[in-house]
């Protein structure tokens, strides 16, 4: 891989922080921005101690971080971009969480559409920018109804969150067609691994299993998903950022699926917990799609990528992270904390 200057927007996020770590591991220089200060280092893999004895992947020479809010501080971001002149920008920033998007839809549209359009309208003028990777979501398709779907633009979003992401994706398509804006889209289905936010299903189940605290399983857990480990996603995203063709869309997914209930049962067996004692069924959340199944054959065939981490191996690794940091994780919020 040739060395590049990366700007990672949303570097505090689960996927963003792992991407920073992956880029640093491959010798690239990285600048990271997020609207909040860096969280507890337990969620930042680029701050973790390394097997080779180094304290972390990030040093003052290869990683720089700034707190910048896309909604109110875009000028600061543009100043940083003009100073750094990154060849590649990877954008993980978005207002997430489907259920809460019904409660404050204007927050989702402001962050995921309006602020993003303002950002892209300035970025299209930057001649030094060779690639812009937009990390989007399979939720733009709506439910895939049990079928493995290929990359396409037939969007059917069913929540304010999904609508906001679909709108931004369509806007970027128009910028690529009109200006040749060098965007690449990635959509990964159900990414997981060590360092994930505690309200997500896998770390939440692992924490409940270790502490005995009951957990809710929406709709009985019968929706279908395909899970993919963050290491595999980072490898594919780096490959696409460096060699992918502008204007293309890529699915990053495993090739096996399971229900959320089956997943939780597997986690309980792994952690030695009783599913019947730990799990309580609750009503399904509004607008939840029954299945997200992404056909990832294109990136496998064109770029030679393949997922390497099995679900069994990935869950074991994530449990090891929980066990190693359990004292800290117990003190942190397990539920989603909305930021305006």
Least trusted range by pLDDT, from 79-93, 136-150, 197-211, 308-322: 136-150
Calpha distance 206→221 (Å, rounded) = 16
Residues in the chain: 340
Write down the pLDDT at residue 231: 98
What would the DSSP string read from start to end of 63-111? Answer: EEEEE--TTT-HHHHHHHHHHH--SEEEE------HHHHTT-HHHHHII
Write down the pLDDT at residue 147: 87
Residue with structure tokens 């280092």?
Answer: 41
Backbone angles phi, psi at 305, to 5 degrees: -85, 150
Write down the pLDDT at residue 215: 93
Please write the tens of the pLDDT for every residue from 237-274: 999 999 999 999 999 999 999 999 999 999 999 999 99
Is the pLDDT score of 24 beyond 70? Answer: yes
Residue 277's contacts (CB-CB under 8 Å, 6 or more residues apart) are: none
Please write the tens of the pLDDT for every residue from 293-315: 999 999 999 999 999 999 999 99
Is the pLDDT score of 290 beyond 80? Answer: no
Residue 281's contacts (CB-CB under 8 Å, 6 or more residues apart) are: 216, 217, 219, 220, 221
Q: What is the mean pLDDT of the chain?
A: 94
18-50 per-residue burial string, b: 16 or more CB within 10 A, e: under 16: bbbbbbbeeebbbbbbbbeebbebbbbbbbbee
What would the DSSP string read from start to end of 267-300? Answer: HHHHHT--HHHHEEEEPPPTT--SEE-B--HHHH
Write down the pLDDT at residue 282: 75
Residue with structure tokens 């709108």?
Answer: 167
Element (H or E) spanning 224, and its range? Answer: strand 224-225
Write down the pLDDT at residue 55: 87
**232 to each of 15, 17, 130, 142, 296, how far by Cα in Å?**
11, 14, 24, 24, 12
Mean pLDDT of the region 123-148: 93
Strands 279-282 and 215-218: parallel
* Half-sphere exposure at residue 259, Cβ-oriented, CA atoms within 13 angstroms: 11
Mean pLDDT of the region 14-31: 97
Is the pLDDT score of 107 beyond 90? Answer: yes
Element (H or E) spanning 7, and its range? Answer: strand 5-9
Higher pLDDT: 198 or 285? It is 198
Sheet holding 249-252, edge to edge: 63-67, 29-34, 5-9, 88-91, 131-136, 183-188, 249-252
Instruction: Assign 25 a pLDDT band (cuts: 50, 70, 90).
Output: very high
For the chain, the first-to-last Cα distance in angstroms comes to 39
Residue with structure tokens 């490959």?
Answer: 239
Higher pLDDT: 153 or 202? It is 202
Write down the pLDDT at residue 284: 62
Please write the tens of the pLDDT for every residue from 233-242: 999 999 999 9
State the maximum Cα–Cα separation within the chain, in Å, rounded to a whole number: 59
Write down the pLDDT at residue 287: 55
Strands 258-259 and 224-225: antiparallel
CB 11 within 8 A of CB 65: yes
Write down the pLDDT at residue 53: 77
């Amino acid at each position: 891989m040739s060395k590049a200057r990366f700007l990672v927007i949303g570097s505090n996020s689960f996927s963003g922080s792992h991407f920073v770590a992956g880029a640093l591991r491959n010798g690239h220089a990285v600048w990271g921005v997020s609207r909040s200060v860096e969280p507890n280092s337990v969620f930042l893999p680029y701050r973790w101690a390394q097997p080779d004895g180094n304290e972390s992947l990030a040093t003052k020479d290869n990683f720089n971080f700034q707190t910048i809010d896309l909604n109110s501080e875009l000028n600061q971001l543009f100043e940083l971009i003009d100073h750094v002149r990154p060849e590649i920008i990877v954008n993980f920033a978005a207002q997430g969480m489907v259920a809460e998007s019904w409660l404050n839809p204007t927050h989702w549209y402001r962050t995921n559409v309006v602020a993003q359009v303002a950002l892209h309208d300035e970025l299209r003028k930057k001649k030094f920018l060779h690639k812009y990777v937009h990390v989007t979501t399979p939720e733009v398709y709506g439910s895939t109804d049990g079928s493995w779907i290929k990359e396409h633009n037939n969007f059917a979003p069913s929540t304010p969150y999904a609508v906001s992401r679909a709108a931004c994706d369509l806007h970027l398509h128009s910028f690529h067609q009109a200006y040749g804006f060098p965007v690449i889209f990635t959509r990964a289905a159900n990414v997981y691994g060590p360092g994930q936010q505690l309200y997500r299903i896998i770390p939440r189940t692992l924490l409940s299993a270790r502490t005995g605290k009951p957990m809710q399983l929406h709709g009985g857990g019968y929706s279908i998903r395909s899970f993919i480990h963050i290491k595999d996603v980072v490898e594919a995203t780096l490959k696409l950022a460096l060699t992918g063709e502008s204007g293309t869309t890529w699915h990053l997914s495993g090739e096996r699926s399971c229900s959320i209930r089956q997943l939780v049962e597997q986690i309980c067996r792994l952690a030695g917990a009783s599913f019947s004692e730990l799990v309580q069924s609750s009503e399904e959340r509004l607008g939840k799609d029954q299945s997200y199944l992404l056909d990832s054959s294109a990136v496998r065939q064109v770029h030679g990528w393949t997922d390497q981490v099995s679900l069994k191996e990935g869950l074991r690794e994530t449990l090891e992270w929980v066990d190693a940091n359990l004292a800290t994780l117990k003190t942190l919020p397990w539920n989603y904390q909305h930021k305006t």
